[in-house]
Structure 1
Amino acid sequence: MTTPDTMAAVYAFPDTSACEAANRAAGFSPQVDDKTRPCMTVAGVQVYAYLDPKVGAVRVSIDLDTPEDRLIRSDETVPVRIDVGDSVVFDDSEQGRATPSTRKELLHQLVGDQYGGDVTAALLDLVVLTRAQLENWASLSLDAGEVAWLDEQIPHSSVPQAIGEICTQLDDRDDLV
């Protein structure tokens, strides 16, 4: 019987032949109305790439809600690596996980000279709301489109004001560094 403890040893990303078959079976769905986006689907993973006039940029979104079971690791994640041009900007593959310096190198690359190479100072300026946090707060599952919509709506909601009000209490905290 496979248990969460033994699944890590059992998991293996599909081999070359299975990957080639999945890649050859990939499908494309064009945008058909104002509520859809162009999408490529490979082994249940959906990748959306589209021009977004609101942000003035090409947007790329990966939806990992419906991957084939063979892609799901024992921790219920799907290994993902994202390249932009020749640069790896995110790597959660087994190879990326085995290279502890990857994230640190990426942070240094992203920080550059803006913070004098001080990753800690840069991280203090960075706040990220994860999909899991948003789903927890909303008490429901969110698809990629809903997360993108929230990303656009949160700056125009009461959330920034609430964070501002919470921050007024920082001066009264003795336990902060």
Structure 2
Amino acid sequence: MVRFLSTIHGSPHANPGRTKERWDSDTRTYQDIVLPQIKLDYDAGMIWVDFADFLESFVRIDYKFRRPYLVNYFWCFESAITVSHQVCKLLWPQEYKTGYRTFQDDILALCRDIVQRTGTIRRVEQKANKRTRRSGHVLAFNHPPTNQLPKARCEQCKTRSIKKRVTTHPIHRGCMECGVTLCCAKCWIDWHKEL
């Protein structure tokens, strides 16, 4: 549970305007850059993927040892409810400012999403038993859809050079400073890695 809370996406610290250190191969120093909006949207949507992966790990443990540890599921739901309040603050900031959203609303929203994803969890349980013969194979959930950004030159950083970075889609270029021309959040992750 501690690992889940520490590695979860969409944490309260991922606010708009947040900066993060990134290695610049030209100056050989770390520079603070502002996270692009597509990265913030990606983190906010990945919260449920993290939750599903966390539940999937316990399903694999149960099938491996052939004994169900129900306390693991309680830990899973407890940790998800703990962070749901903070995550929902990022998704609906306007409602929190006016006081129209409460912690109970967050729990109800969490339960609704869990019910919608029941089919996905059942498929994971079905695949977990088949996984024993596949050494090294890890079940993966699809990433949530992200907003596609136009491949246009960054007007804010147009005086700076746009360098080609190693990304998931090699043909796409991203602005060296803010990454505004990246096509998806997965490319942003690859672009952000130290070269």
Greater relative contact order, per chain length (Cα 8 Å cut-off, separation 6+): 2
Q: TM-score band, normalised by the shorter chain?
A: under 0.3
Please give the TM-score of this superposition, normalised by the length of structure 2: 0.23
Query: Which one has the bigger helix percentage?
Result: 2
* Bigger strand share: 1
